[in-house]
Amino acid sequence: MDMERRGVTIFLLSLALMGVLLFPGPGRAAEKVLRIAQQADCNGFDPQKITDVYTGTLLRQVYNGLVQPDENMIFQPDLAESWENPDDLTWIFKLRQGVLFHNGEEFTAEDVKYTFDRLFDPKTASPGVTHVREVDKVEIVDKYTIKITTKTPYAPLLANLGRYEFCMLNKKGVDAAGEDYNKMPVGTGPFTLESWRPGDSVVLKKFDKYFKGTPKVDKIIFRGIPEDATRVIEMESGGVDICMDFPPQDFERVKAEGKFVMYEKSALSTNYYGFNTSVKPFDDKRVRQALNYAVDVDALIDSLYFGLGVKSRGPMSDQVWGFDTSLPEDPYPYDVEKAKAMLAEAGYPNGFKTKLYASTQSLSRSTAEYFQGFFAEVGIEAEVVSLEWGAYLAETRKGADGMFTMGWSGTGDADGALTYLYDSQNIGSSNRVFWSDPKFDKMMYEGRTTLDPEKRKAIYKEAQTYFNEEVPIVLMLSRNLIAATTTKVKGFAIYPNQVYQLFNVSLDD
Amino acid sequence: MWRYIFRRLLFLIPVLIGVSILIFAIIHLAPGDPAETLLGPSATAQDLEELREQLGLNESLTVQYFTFLINSLKGDFGRSIRTNNPVLEELLDRFEPSLLLAVCSMTLAIVVGLPLGVLAALRQNTWLDTFCNLTALLGFSIPGFWLGLMLMLLFSIMFPILPSSGYGSWEQLIMPAVVLGTNTMAVIARMTRSSMLEVVRQDYVRTAKAKGLNSRLILTRHILTNVLIPVVTVAGLNFGHMLGGVVITETVFSIPGIGRLIIDAIRFKDYPVVQGGILFFAFCLSLVNLGVDLLYALLDPRIKAQYRAS
């Protein structure tokens, strides 16, 4: 065979091969791949090391917790089948039987114990520790029963354990991966990790032996696309099936076009502008109240959030368990004259100078600049100080000499929304308003040590009213979470805590 | 020649040590630390202290620096604080898209920019010259992020023939390469034009013409080799810059390049990644510079002779 003929044969053979590869014959079912864009990249798969909700969503697909919030933030059994409190300090969790980890091991009480031991180990340095400081002991009762004892009666435990930091781990799985556990996770969840390309994408593959049944899609590809416009274009050009963190500026336009299914729901988190209440003039509640009147929050929501947010009626979002629905719709309506009068009464007829701290993130900065404008109207000269996130955290931990803006999600329970930020025991960590009010502290203490939900609700109701009166922050908003999906996507729901469960999501042909 | 290269490589050592000191000082003196960002707002002072101890942040800066330096010499840049992946692995992973993008856009810039410049100079003061100049001016002034978004609208939504973002296939490289290459193309075109205009007036070109050489030979042998020196300088500088990652293009097209990695690391105060990343970048830049200097020798025998002599 001469060279030329051999060349032609090879060429034809490759064409045929390409044909086979490109056009699979009948009978080969196409893989169902769900493609999702979210705002941020994955930070890894070790749940005990993660602090962001975007990675939290990925963890939710790979792992399970003892309990898990549903899309209405109601805590549902997950790996725990049921639980009871024989006394105020004890929680007995009955575990689900026959649950398999991705490595084939059976999930038992040993794993729960191991998970907590690892979390509490200072070497792990887990941010999750903050939610279980009240836990005294975790003991194995039998193979499928675990006992958790708390130092004081601790009602929020369930909500805290529903966070992604408390995904259940398997000792063999963790040990086998060693230092690389972050990219070799072993969970009990509906999906296993197929590949992770940092900065780009994560591919999850369905786990056939998942205890709640086989997932409805074969694979999920998560892409972290930080640029808003790119995320939307990717959706519009058919590159993804679900666009989470849909940019508010494009919401109305895309909704009007009617090509996609748009989802919208109030977030669990609250954004606020905190006073450092330990310094003058913010130690005077009249000044704090006056400044609440001085800011037109509705205008802020309209312009910075494109109207996609709800003005706060109190310290926490209406998605949080314990939110008092009888709170006034608008506790501090925008009223410049009233603000001026109150400032004069507090001894500041000509205003004062202060600083508005913000992080370098653009929304944070814009909020500060908005406040600067509103404050100028009541005679307050505010300087905007913008710091990088790490420095911002350090500065506000020490106590900002002025005001600072932040957002907080908590756990879905009133304790998670209030105690961290406003209980004086957390000054120096999450209480950055340096508010130390024995009356409020007492309510927080009672709220978390009372196990009866109805009594708790009454306590938090009182606490929210009291908070609105003392108001150590300028009440701002809970933004709306937005997502868009193609019409093929079924079973999708927005989770107010931004940690999505996708097991029930399917993709029509 | 080899001695020259060897000497240049040897010179890299003090450069890299200098860079390492600088970057180490800058990142450690800037306020805030990784313990804060890693543990978030609800960490207690004790949690932070424990983590700092674990990360070795409580040691004196000198101790920390020398630990870093000695480990780096062994090729160990540590693990990322954010993802716990080995820094070198992360850098190499993220370098690939940046390198590929840089090579594609540079090729595009040269293939389009050089002829554009030559053409403009050869037909100076004609409509062709004006056209080339305008193209260059436009390419130079269009902001990358805008061009990127416009291309996406055009080729992903209106005429859906290209994927809008991401990395992994050659189709995904086209738009980012065009966006990134446009600016360099403009610079190369302008540089080539002005350099050409200077060279064509030189005595040796006139001599060549007087000898009766054909004009193509004059252009390729006598003019272009001399024109190329400043062009290579500009292209080299731009190429080095591209290797360090072009954050805006990478962000707009969601490409997992090294620029975004370093920016994210800086935001997160991920010291090992920032230090490793900048060192790596300095190393690449030095190599590109060396490459450019060697290209000079190839283009200009006088420079080659100089290298030999030194």
Chain length of chain A:
509
A160-199 residues touching B, CB cutoff 8 A: 179-180, 182-183, 197-199
pLDDT by position in tens, chain A (length 509): 444 455 444 444 444 444 444 444 444 568 899 999 999 989 999 999 988 899 999 999 999 999 999 999 999 999 999 999 999 999 999 999 999 999 999 999 999 999 999 999 988 888 889 899 999 999 999 999 999 999 999 999 999 999 999 999 999 999 999 989 999 999 999 999 999 998 899 999 999 999 999 999 999 999 999 999 999 999 999 999 999 999 999 999 999 999 999 999 999 999 999 999 999 899 999 999 999 999 999 999 999 999 999 999 999 999 999 999 999 999 999 999 999 999 999 999 999 999 999 999 889 999 999 999 999 999 999 999 999 888 899 899 999 999 999 999 889 999 999 999 999 999 988 999 999 999 999 999 999 999 999 999 999 999 999 999 999 999 999 999 999 999 999 999 999 999 999 999 999 98
For chain A positions 223-242, those within 8 Å of chain B (CB to CB) are 223-227, 229-230, 233-234, 236-239
CB contact under 8 A, B40 and A393: yes
Domain with B82 in it: 2-87
Compute φ and ψ for A33, nearest 5 degrees.
-115, 120
Residues B62 and B168: their CA atoms lie apart, in Å, by 42
Residues in chain B closer than 8 A to A237 (CB atoms):
152, 156-157, 160, 163-164
B124 and B32 part of one domain: no
Amino acid code (one letter) for B87: V
Select from B50, B90, B253 the Cβ nearest to the Cβ of A122: B50
Give the SS3 label for residue A476: strand
| Angstroms from B65 CA to nearest CA on chain A | 21
| Residue B144 forms contact with A (CB below 8 Å) | no
CA distance B88 to A285: 53
Considering B87, B109, B140, which residue would you say is the last residue of a domain? B87
User: Do B105 and B142 belong to one domain?
Assistant: yes
Q: Return the pLDDT at A22.
A: 42
Do B289 and B184 lie in one domain? The reply is: yes
Compute how many other C-beta atoms are within 10 angstroms of the C-beta atom of residue B36: 23
Q: With an 8 Å Cβ cutoff, is B95 touching chain A?
A: no
On whether both B98 and B82 belong to a single domain, the answer is: no
- pLDDT at A66 (0 to 100): 96
Both B49 and B155 in one domain: the answer is: no
Instruction: Give A41's contacts in chain B (Cβ within 8 Å).
Output: 264
Q: Are residues B102 and B133 in the same domain?
A: yes
Smallest Cβ–Cβ distance between B31 and the set A200, A229, A391 belongs to A391
CATH of the domain at B109: 1.10.3720.10
Nearest to A198 among B44, B85, B269 (CB): B85
Specify whether B145 is located in the same domain as B224. yes
Task: Let me know whether B79 and B111 are in one domain.
Answer: no
**B174 min Cα distance to partner chain A (Å):** 16
Query: At residue A423, what is the residue type?
Result: D
Alpha carbons A279 and A434: distance in angstroms, whole number: 9
Q: If contacts are CB pairs under 8 Å, which of residues 357-416 in chain A contact chain B?
A: 387-397, 406, 408
* One domain, residues B162 and B20: no
Rounded to a whole number of angstroms, the distance from the CA of A237 to the nearest CA of chain B is 5
The closest alpha carbon to A61, from A208, A160, A205, A225, belongs to A205
Looking at the fold, whether B104 and B39 belong to one and the same domain comes out as no
Cα B292 from Cα A19, distance rounded (Å): 45
Alpha helices in chain B (DSSP H): 2-29, 34-39, 45-55, 61-73, 87-122, 127-141, 144-152, 171-199, 203-210, 215-217, 225-243, 247-252, 258-268, 271-299, 301-309
Separation in Å, CA A340 to CA A54, A249, A293, A299? 42, 34, 9, 19
| pLDDT tens sequence for chain B (310 residues) | 788 888 888 888 898 899 999 999 988 888 878 888 888 888 888 888 888 888 888 888 899 999 888 888 888 888 898 888 899 999 999 999 999 999 999 999 999 999 999 989 988 889 989 988 898 899 889 998 899 999 999 999 999 899 999 998 889 999 999 999 999 999 999 999 999 998 888 888 889 889 888 888 888 888 888 888 888 888 888 888 888 768 889 999 999 999 989 988 988 889 999 999 998 888 888 888 888 888 888 888 888 888 777 6
Dist. CA A109–CA A146, nearest whole Å: 6
Q: Are A234 and A217 in contact (CB under 8 A)?
A: no
Contact in structure between A403 and A355 (CB atoms under 8 Å): yes
pTM for the whole structure = 0.88
Give the count of beta carbons closer than 10 Å to the beta carbon of residue A109: 20
DSSP string, A300-313: HHHHHSTT-EEE-S
What pLDDT does B6 receive?
87
Question: How close is the nearest chain B Cα to the Cα of A127, in Å?
Answer: 5
Q: Are strands A309-311 and A489-490 parallel, antiparallel or unpaired?
A: unpaired
Taking an 8 Å cut-off on Cβ atoms, the answer to whether A390 and B32 are in contact is yes
Collapsed DSSP state (helix, strand, coil) of residue A386: strand
Q: Do B40 and A51 touch (CB under 8 A)?
A: yes
- A388 and B267 within 8 Å at the Cβ level: the answer is yes
Q: Look at chain B and report how many structural domains it folds into.
A: 2
A201-206 and A219-224 strand pairing: antiparallel
Residues B100 and B72 in one domain: no
> What residues of A are in contact with residue B30 (Cβ under 8 Å)?
388, 391
d(CA B110, nearest CA chain A) in Å: 28
**Last residue within a domain, chosen from B63, B87, B111:** B87
Backbone angles phi, psi at A406, to 5 degrees: -155, 165
Q: What residues does A311 pair with on adjacent strands?
A: A477
Separation between Cα atoms, residue A115 and residue B13, nearest integer Å: 46
Complex ipTM value = 0.87
As given in the structure block, the two tokens for residue B269 are 């105060």
Q: Give ∠ CA A212-A218-A219 in degrees, rounded to 5.
A: 110
State the Cα–Cα distance between residues A277 and A472, nearest whole angstrom.
7
Q: Is B44 on the interface with A (CB under 8 A)?
A: yes
Of the residues B32, B65, B87, which one is the last residue of a structural domain? B87
Judgement on whether residues B171 and B40 belong to the same structural domain of the protein: no
Q: Check if B264 contacts A (Cβ < 8 Å).
A: yes
Mutation choice for A interface testing from B27, B29, B42, B85 by most A CBs within 10 A: B42
The one-letter amino acid at A82: S
Separation between Cα atoms, residue A373 and residue A296, nearest integer Å: 10
Contact A127 B40 (CB under 8 A): yes
Pairing of strands A353-359, A381-387: parallel
